[in-house]
Amino acid sequence: MNLKKVRIELDTAEIQQVISIALDDDKEQALAFIKKNLVKQVEKALQPH
């Protein structure tokens, strides 16, 4: 996989999740968010077009 700089976009619900995770300092919730949301977006952005 070729790595490159990518931009991802978060909707308002995802932004609320990020803020909630930061305020709660919940490591399990943070990892779940990364796996559920961020990884998919990064993989999609890295796909050859």
Domain holding 21, by residue range, is 12-46
- pLDDT of 48 above 90: no
CA 17 vs. chain centroid, Å, equals 10
When divided into structural domains, the chain yields a total of 1
- pLDDT of 2 above 90: no
**41 within some domain:** yes
This model's pTM is above 0.75 = no
**3 within some domain:** no
**Count of helices and strands (H, E) across the chain:** 3, 0
Q: What would the two tokens of residue 11 be?
A: 């909707």
**5 within some domain:** no
**4 within some domain:** no
**1 within some domain:** no
Q: What confidence tens digit (pLDDT) does each residue in 4-38 have?
A: 999 999 999 999 999 999 999 989 999 999 999 99
**16 within some domain:** yes
